[in-house]
Structure 1
Amino acid sequence: MEIGQVIRKQRKAKGWTLEELAHRVDTDTGNLSRLERGKQGASHELLDRIMKALDIKLAAQGLVEEGTNVGSTLQPTRKHKEYPLISWVQAGDLTESPSNLGAEYEWFPSPENATDIGFWLKVQGDSMTCLGNPSFPAGSLILVRPDSDVINGKYYVVEMLDSGEKTFKQYVEDAGLKYLRPLNTGYRTIEIDGNCRFIGRVIDTKMTGL
């Protein structure tokens, strides 16, 4: 995560406006806005004041110089990057990057790279449950990497354009035709032909509450 995104996320989590943070760290809102958007760096002194005000900790010792990308140092206690758990309604319709969501969301780690706009969803129903591997039972979490290439045999979250319904299925190409296939044979395979939008590819899964 870029430093500006980390600062914006922490500021919003505290419920502070740009004006509030600017007052606390003795700078102006223009500097902070450009810093959060990645358009400007910051001096070590200013960055240190911001990090102290927002309770951001460095992962390792060392100075942060103006213009330095220190995103990799700003997750000190996380072995893996974390992504927010969002609702199916939000999937594909967020107005801002999931990495900027507030503290009211649950965050779960993953060793997989879902980029800065990745997110978790909770599986609904049993259409992707089977006796084989993989199997995605209801209640399990799936990590979605948006804007991924569409590859035969991989798993995707897809929006059906005619109904607006969002679904999780395996993408299959066979004999020139394209399908969305459930792993549970009790559900029907859906033939597609430009009538859906691929929101993202599922690249990780985990069970919770065990």
Structure 2
Amino acid sequence: MVAEISRQIEDSIAVKQAVLRDPAALAQVERVALVCCDSLRGGGKIVFAGNGGSFADAQHLSAEFTSRFQFDRAPLASLALATNSSAISAIGNDYGFDQVFARELEAVAKPGDVYIPITTSGNSPNIIESIWVARRLGLPTFCLTGQSGGLANGLCECIRVPSQVTARIQECHILLGHILCGLLENMIFKAPGGPGREEYA
């Protein structure tokens, strides 16, 4: 059993090392941070969505924005789709489960927002439907996926984790999400001439 535990830890480390050694992937994360920073500074918000474990990740990352991550500061505008169970049941019943993210995104998104859907396969039908809505609304969209990117890869920019194992992909997604949170906090609140806690709202 100890050998299996060690193997899984090594597998997780190997995936992260693969991302670390990929300059294109690192540049992608930097680009997402810059786009999100422009959005937040311009009064926009960061919108997350996902299913299952990725739903939990979407809520987790959104909470890091609206609460705090590394230090005390003003809240950053963010939300995770489908956290209202009444809305999920209503949209699912009236329009189908494939529309639970798309319909809510259409209702709450505005120009200047950024959309970050999360799907390990890149093929989740409700995520794909929401990406179509984001395209129609003109939202910059960056999808966190697994190795292939799936259907999402042809619809928006995908940050593809080099693994086909769901657990390893999700572990890397939350790492990348935490990096994004930290970068944005530093850019907005610690940049020279940046706002203080009371100034940013």
Q: Does the alignment reach a TM-score above 0.5?
A: no
TM-score normalized with structure 2 length: 0.21
For normalisation by structure 1, the TM-score amounts to 0.21
Higher helix share: 2
Higher strand share: 1
Q: Which structure carries more relative contact order (alpha carbon 8 Å, separation 6+)? A: 2
